[in-house]
Amino acid sequence: MKNIQTKKTVLVTGGTGFLGIHTILQLLQQGYHVKTTLRSLAKKDSILKALKEGGITDFSHLALIEADLTTDKNWDEAVKGCDYILHVASPFPADDPKDENELIVPARDGALRVLKASRDAGVKRVVLTSSFAAVGYSIDAKDHIFTEKDWTDLNAPLPAYIKSKTVAEKSAWEFIEKEGNGIELSVINPVGIFGPVIGGITSASLDIAISGILNGSMDKTPPFTMGVVDVRDVADIHIKAMLHPEAPGERFIATSDGVMSFYDVAELFKKERPQYILDVKELQPIGKEFYKEMSNEKAETILSWNPRSREEALLASADSLMGNQ
Ligand code: NAP
Maximum distance among all Cα pairs of the chain, rounded to whole angstroms: 56
pLDDT, the chain, mean: 94
- The residue-averaged pLDDT of 229-247 equals 98
Strands 259-260 and 226-230: antiparallel
Q: Edge to edge, what strands does the sheet with 192-194 contain?
A: 192-194, 226-230, 259-260
Atom from ligand 1 closest to the CA of residue 69: 19
pLDDT of residue 4: 47
pLDDT beyond 70 at 176: yes
Q: CA 153 to CA 150: how far, in whole Å?
A: 9
Q: Best substitution site from 11, 90, 126, 165 to test ligand 1's pocket, by max atoms within 8 Å of Cβ? A: 90
Instruction: Kindly give the distance from the C-alpha atom of residue 14 to the centroid of ligand 1, in angstroms, as a whole number.
Output: 7
Ligand 1 near 192 CB (within 6 A): yes
Atom from ligand 1 closest to the CA of residue 164: 34
Ordered DSSP codes for 149-210: T----TTS---HHHHHHHHHHHHHHHHHHHH-TT-EEEEEEE-EEES---TT---HHHIIII
pLDDT of residue 77: 98
- Closest Cα to residue 148, out of 161, 135, 165? 135
Tens-place pLDDT, residues 35-73 = 999 999 999 999 999 999 999 999 999 999 999 999 999
Q: At what angle do helices 310-321 and 262-272 cross, to 10 degrees?
A: 70
Q: CA 94 to CA 90: how far, in whole Å?
A: 13
pLDDT beyond 90 at 18: yes
pLDDT beyond 50 at 245: yes
pLDDT beyond 60 at 1: no
CATH number given to 9-194+230-257+293-308: 3.40.50.720
Provide the pLDDT confidence category of residue 217 given band limits of 50, 70 and 90. confident
Atom from ligand 1 closest to the CA of residue 129: 32
Q: Are 248 and 185 in contact (CB under 8 A)?
A: yes
What ranges do the domains of the chain cover?
9-194+230-257+293-308
The 3-state DSSP class for residue 128 equals strand
Q: How many residues does the chain have?
A: 325
pLDDT of residue 280: 64
3-state helix, strand, coil in the chain (%, to 5): 40, 15, 40
Query: What predicted TM-score, i.e. pTM, was given to this entire model?
Result: 0.97
Provide the pLDDT confidence category of residue 141 given band limits of 50, 70 and 90. low
- The residue-averaged pLDDT of 215-241 equals 94
